[in-house]
Structure 1
Amino acid sequence: MMNLEITNPLYYGVPFFFVLIISEYLLTYKHDKDHYNAKDFWSSFQVAITSGIVAIFTKTASIAVFYMLYKGFADLRVEWLGYQYIDWTIWWVWVLLILADDLCFYWYHRLSHTVRVLWAAHVVHHSSEQYNFGNAIRNGIFTLFYKSLFWLWLPILGFHPVMVVTVMGVSTIYQYWLHSSKLPKLGVMEEFMNTPKLHAVHHSRNIEYLDKNHAAIFMFWDRLFGTYKAYDDNVPAEFGVIKGPNSNKLVNIVFHEYRDLWQDVKNAKTWQDKFMYLFSPPGWSPDGSTKTTKQIQKELEQEKQLA
């Protein structure tokens, strides 16, 4: 079995993140004092510290499971696929892994928007009404407990766990610079790569933009699966979520959607409705009193056709 030791790129990325925050703040505080809000940033910082502590344990557990699958399926790979491990020294293996990682992230991210119990964890990242490098560090704490499930198939196929973790770190670093409303459109790059304007679509609460642009790096996943949306200059992005915590307190930011979900499940009249509240898209209700993103967008399209 090959020996592979690669330092997690996030060790280098975190200091870079804070350099970007400070730089963006210094460049904007004179002409756009609302771009950063002290209370909002402090909330994001608290979320970042808390999730960082939790990640120490969840990432350790994830790597352990990756190694177990990587080694445990070695003989089966020989029998079914004709190899024991994937050779990390081949350059195109890394290209394949980057593409596979992006596909993993796409479905992890998309389902985190379209399955309510997962949205309750992920909504933390979208809860700020600011869109700057400061709120890029506001990541869901409970997403850490299920995110790695979407990557399990990679060590099963024979990708070394350290390779997988390394590529996940590179993806995280790439996504960081996407979180600024001050960066312009980037021309032809918008066609195939994720950019700040395309990610602004993802972070907005405009009906037209909801549940779009889920990929981390490459936008062809969104094009392939029907979730791509270009930024429309005639529809300026309004950031945040339709039903947010309306608070800068850490506990409210982290738990507000769980609280609402619990109330819906508790008040549901049938077990089927309880199940649907948990696993249907946010906004689902048995009587149609609240609506999902697709239902709201369909109504908007019908209104435009009638206008």
Structure 2
Amino acid sequence: MHSLHKITLLATVFVVAISLVEAFFLARRARQQGKAYPWHEMGLSLADMAGRKLMALLPLSLATPIFALAWQHRIFTVEINSALAVLLLFLGQEFCYYWYHRASHRIRFFWATHAVHHSPNELTLGTAYRLGWTGKILGASMFFAPLVWLGVRPEVVLSTLSLNLLYQFWLHTTWIPKLGWFEKVFNTPSAHRVHHASNVDYLDANYGGVLIIFDRLFGTYVEEREDEPCRYGLVHPTTTHNPFVNQFEHWIGLGKDMINAGGLLNAIGYLLMPPGWAPDGKGQTTEVLRQQQAMERAVAVSAR
């Protein structure tokens, strides 16, 4: 356990140091171009990390009883003591991660936390560790409980998830180009730029962690296009410099919508339907935004 904490500390120091090096480089380039670098974005990411470290001290998580129940009723006891076991754990974890990440975009209850990760209006390495303070309490890791039920120890599942997230650190860049054949199988900076883009054509795509194969399998893979430069941030961009606003504005918005829903079913709809959903069908879900864009493009073509 002591070794695990030491490794975690070293990994944290590493990612923060590298992200700051990138930030100084980007700030210098921005200054040469006569622009101001948004240092507040780095500040919000560092505040997010500090807050999550504090939240980790609280023994509160919806995932804890779910993991305990899954382990109590496990159907096997799996020892990770062979190359095949490692490979199967990796593939199982990637499968669970895909559905966790997809749910985080398509269920507003989970999006209220995950939106924090997508709030930066520029994609930098600092974005990688802006993950939201409320994730642990609300038990996002419950999506990995099937692995525990199959017999993988909870601490092994969570450690594997940590390695997955560490891999994703380098994906949050704009300066690494496409990587040829690597794009076919693995998640890359190019694929992840699409994931972080708020362009209508790019919304709700590329959910993979280390691999991109499940996106290809389930139809959510979208390739980065030269004719469609990525526009980062949320569909409705946030410009706050306040870490508390950054962390809780989506929860406050969700709460207001549920209070004013006009009925229990509508309130549940706001909680469980995709971001932008409205009971009257006039919301701004990804599907609605794409319909609107298609109509605008059709009108533009017919007007030529």
Name the TM-score, length of structure 1 as normaliser.
Answer: 0.87
Q: Do the aligned partners of residues 294 and 35 (structure 1) sit closer, same or farther apart at CA in structure 2, a change above 3 Å counting?
A: farther
Decide whether the 8 Å contact of 1:101 with 1:168 is kept in 2: yes
Letter in 2 for 1:132: T
Q: Does 1:137 align with 2:126?
A: no
Deviation per residue, 1:109-133 (Å, 9 max, x gap):
1111111121111111111102101
Letter in 1 for 2:46: F
Letter in 2 for 1:270: G
Q: Do the aligned partners of residues 147 and 86 (structure 1) sit closer, same or farther apart at CA in structure 2, a change above 3 Å counting?
A: same
Decide whether the 8 Å contact of 2:117 with 2:131 is kept in 1: yes
What is residue 191 of structure 1 aligned with on the other side? 184
Q: Distance in 2 between matches of 1:193 and 1:269?
A: 45
2:104 to 112, 117, 127: 112
- Which moved further from structure 2: 60-69 or 280-289? 60-69
Deviation per residue, 1:97-149 (Å, 9 max, x gap):
11111111111111111111211111111111021012222111112222121
Letter in 1 for 2:26: T
What is residue 291 of structure 1 aligned with on the other side? 284
What is residue 56 of structure 2 aligned with on the other side? 55
What is residue 13 of structure 2 aligned with on the other side? 15
5 Å-filtered alignment, 1:1-307, equals 7=4, 10-33=8-31, 36-57=37-58, 66=67, 69-70=70-71, 72-73=72-73, 77=75, 84-144=76-136, 145-305=138-298, 307=301
- Which moved further from structure 2: 193-202 or 291-300? 291-300
Deviation per residue, 1:249-307 (Å, 9 max, x gap):
01111111112112211222222211111111111112233221012113323444552
Name structure 2 gaps, 5 residues minimum.
Answer: none
Q: Distance in 1 between matches of 2:49 and 2:200?
A: 28
- Which moved further from structure 2: 217-226 or 137-146? 137-146
Q: Distance in 1 between matches of 2:126 and 2:91?
A: 28
- Which moved further from structure 2: 126-135 or 162-171? 162-171
Name structure 1 gaps, 5 residues minimum.
Answer: 78-83
Q: Do the aligned partners of residues 64 and 289 (structure 1) sit closer, same or farther apart at CA in structure 2, a change above 3 Å counting?
A: closer
User: Displacement of 1:63 after TM fit?
Assistant: 6.7
User: Displacement of 1:6 after TM fit?
Assistant: 7.3
Q: Distance in 1 between matches of 2:208 and 2:181?
A: 17
User: Displacement of 1:56 after TM fit?
Assistant: 3.6
Describe the SS at the equivalent of 2:91. Answer: helix
Q: Distance in 2 between matches of 1:155 and 1:162?
A: 9
Deviation per residue, 1:56-80 (Å, 9 max, x gap):
436998578646643x235xx3xxx
Decide whether the 8 Å contact of 1:63 with 1:161 is kept in 2: no
Q: Distance in 2 between matches of 1:125 and 1:100?
A: 24
Letter in 2 for 1:73: H
User: Displacement of 1:28 after TM fit?
Assistant: 2.9
Name the TM-score, length of structure 2 as normaliser.
Answer: 0.88
Q: Distance in 1 between matches of 2:2 and 2:64?
A: 13
Identity of matched residues, %: 28
Letter in 2 for 1:114: R
Describe the SS at the equivalent of 2:58. Answer: helix
Decide whether the 8 Å contact of 2:113 with 2:131 is kept in 1: no
- Which moved further from structure 2: 262-271 or 23-32? 23-32
Q: Distance in 2 between matches of 1:193 and 1:85?
A: 30
What is residue 80 of structure 1 aligned with on the other side? none
RMSD of aligned Cα (Å) = 2.4
Q: Distance in 1 between matches of 2:233 and 2:153?
A: 38
